[in-house]
Amino acid sequence: MILIKPISQLSEDETAKLLNRSTGLQDVIGPVSSILKDVKRNGDAALREFTLQFDRAHIDKIEVPGDDIDAAMLSVDKKLLFHLNNAASNIRAFHEAQVSKDWIREFAPGIWLGQRITPLGAVGAYVPGGRASYPSTALMTVIPAKVAGVGEVIVCTPPGPDGTVNPLTLAAAHIAGADRVVRVGGVQAIAAMAYGTETVPQVDKIVGPGNVYVTTAKMVCGVAIDFPAGPSEVLIIADASARADFIASDMIAQAEHDPNAVSILVTPSGELAEKVKREIDMRLENEVRMDIIRKSLENAAILTGTLDECIEFSNKFAPEHLEIMTEQDIISRIKHAGSIFIGPYAPVSAGDYASGTNHVLPTAGYARMFSGLNTDHFVTKSSVQIIEKKGLESISEAIIGLAEAEGLSAHANAVRVRKK
């Protein structure tokens, strides 16, 4: 049942339910830790065992052979390959615009400061495959890594019961530039990339979305990750000028992701709120993933209030996806959102697949402190200093004074010896 209520009349419990989207990490930490330890200890044997247990698949070769990838490229419908390439081109162009570059300049006479960018050596990209296959996630995780210059990108994705990976996912990984594809999913995949096995190399960082088990594994495995990413969510700010059918379609689209996905509309228009509710009820019967959508819409809300209240609620919610359909330009007042979609013709679906922006985004309010996946996730940044004699002389007294105030006389002497 969708919650329909003025923002000002939300109870403490209702507000807490909407704002505190617990990912349930604490509930699964035990079994996740057990799997991580088993894979760390037993390597490929553990991967085969857990793949049989959780995916009901026997896998002899853990890594997908190149011949299988070639066969997938031939088997996928040519029109779908065209769409994958088109999306990949847009994603690559967007992320090329993000790339940080080396720089150095003189900040004071004799003091040159700069930044050195170094791509990571190896990255693991997790591509889910539970309730559906996600070739788009292969594009979103691999392309920015390769654009950033990562040496090796390993894709881990769960196999079907027959032990094979969805051909469309294999095609997407190939088009994106993945160096290797491994047919392992779940916590065991995170463990394999974090610790390395006989087949899977240890990586410097793990990126990509997943369920609560995968997210928990990423957070406790001890390897650098992108950010926590749980069930998907959208918040829509819309006024009376917005199309109710557009909004209803976008809320339903979000709901089909997962039973725990969240769809929220905040609007100053009570009339629009009622229209959207009727549109959702009318459209539900035609949806394929009906059971998932109905369950997900139990988390949905349609809230009314002033535009100021709507913006304030959105900033507290810090949504993964934020859609704005208002006559007034409010973008400057938005503080926290993973990805922002402005106007009636910018649905979340565009960013999910082909506009070029990345769909791997922080959820559950983590947009307050994390950015969506971008090329900076795949590099390290080293500061660089070139200091001439006159430059050191200009700051020597400050260095000596502060070092001695901290009781670090050797630091001070390291400067004094250069002044003599």
pLDDT of 230 above 90: no
Looking at residue 229, what is its pLDDT? 80
Mean pLDDT of 12-20: 92
Is 411 annotated to bind a ligand? Reply is yes
Residue 336 assigned to a binding site: no
Half-sphere exposure of 178 (CA within 13 A, CB side): 30
For residue 130, is pLDDT > 90? no
Residue 288, pLDDT above cutoff 60: yes
383 belongs to an annotated ligand binding site: no
- Who's near 16: CB < 8 A, 6+ residues apart? none
E strand or H helix that includes residue 262: strand 262-267
Lowest-confidence pick of 146-160, 221-235, 319-333, 343-357: 221-235
* Nearest by Cα to 185 from 352, 346, 52: 52
For 38-65, what is each residue's pLDDT tens digit? 999 999 999 999 999 999 999 999 999 9
Q: What predicted TM-score, i.e. pTM, was given to this entire model?
A: 0.94
DSSP string, 245-256: HHHHHHHHHHHT
Tokens read off for 153: 């990108």
> In this structure, how many other beta carbons lie within 10 angstroms of the beta carbon of residue 398?
10
Question: Would the annotation count 95 as a binding residue?
Answer: no
Question: pLDDT digits over 261-271, tens only?
Answer: 999 999 999 99
Q: What pLDDT score does 132 carry?
A: 66
Annotated catalytic sites, by residue?
320-321
Annotated binding residue 20: no
Residues in Cβ contact with 10 at an 8 Å cutoff, skipping those fewer than 6 apart? 18, 303
Choice among 21-30, 179-188, 197-206, 307-316 with the minimum mean pLDDT: 21-30
Radius of gyration of the chain from its Cα atoms, rounded to whole angstroms: 25
CA torsion angle for 355, 358, 359, 363 (degrees, to 10)?
A: -140
Alpha helices in 184-289 (DSSP H): 186-195, 212-220, 244-255, 270-283
3-state secondary structure of 187: helix
pLDDT band at residue 420 using 50, 70 and 90 as cut-offs:
confident
Strands 233-238 and 321-325: parallel
pLDDT at 131 over 60: no
The mean pLDDT value for 382-405 works out to 97
Find, among 227, 184, 148, the residue nearest to 58 by Cα: 184
What is the pLDDT confidence band of residue 191, given thresholds at 50, 70 and 90?
A: very high
Domains belonging to the chain, first-starting first, are 3-21+231-356 (3.40.50.1980), 25-225 (3.40.50.1980), 388-419 (no CATH)
Both tokens assigned to 208: 């990509």
Other beta carbons within 10 Å of 203: 25
Residue 321 annotated as lining a ligand binding site? yes
- Establish whether 249 is an annotated binding residue: no
Residue 30: predicted pLDDT: 96
Read off the pLDDT of each residue in 158-185 and give the average, rounded to a whole number.
96
Residue 385 marked in a binding site: no
Residue 419 has pLDDT above 80, yes or no: yes
- Cα separation, 19 vs 301, in Å, equals 12
pLDDT in the model for residue 23? 66
Q: How many CA atoms lie within 13 A of 20 on its CB side?
A: 7
CA torsion angle for 52, 219, 168, 258 (degrees, to 10)? Answer: 90
> pLDDT value at position 346?
98
Question: Residues with Cβ < 8 Å from 92, sequence gap 6 or more?
Answer: 143, 147
Burial track 27-44 (b if 16+ CB lie within 10 A, e otherwise): ebeeebeebbebbbeebb
Residue 228: its pLDDT value, please?
86
Alpha helices in 126-234 (DSSP H): 135-148, 167-176, 186-195, 212-220
State the burial class of residue 78 (Cβ atoms within 10 Å of its Cβ: 0-12, 13-18, 19+): exposed
Please say if the pLDDT value at position 224 is more than 60. Answer: yes
Q: What is the pLDDT of residues 309-363, one digit of tens each?
A: 999 999 999 999 999 999 999 999 999 999 999 999 999 999 999 999 999 999 9
Give 96-112 pLDDT, tens digit per residue: 999 999 999 999 999 99
Could you report the per-residue pLDDT of 329-342, keeping only the tens digit for each? 999 999 999 999 99
pLDDT, averaged across the chain: 95
- Confirm whether residue 58 is marked as ligand binding: no
pLDDT at 78: 97
The closest alpha carbon to 360, from 183, 207, 135, belongs to 207
Check the annotation: does 232 bind a ligand: yes
Percent of the chain past pLDDT 70, that is, above it, reads 98
Contact at 8 Å (CB) between 181 and 63?
Answer: yes
In terms of DSSP bridges, do strands 180-182 and 205-207 run parallel, antiparallel, or are they unpaired?
A: unpaired
- Which pLDDT score, from 0 to 100, does residue 289 have? 77
Q: What are the backbone dihedrals phi and psi of residue 208, each rounded to the nearest 5 degrees, phi first?
A: 115, 155
Summarize pLDDT for 71-101 with one digit per residue, the tens: 999 999 999 999 999 999 999 999 999 999 9
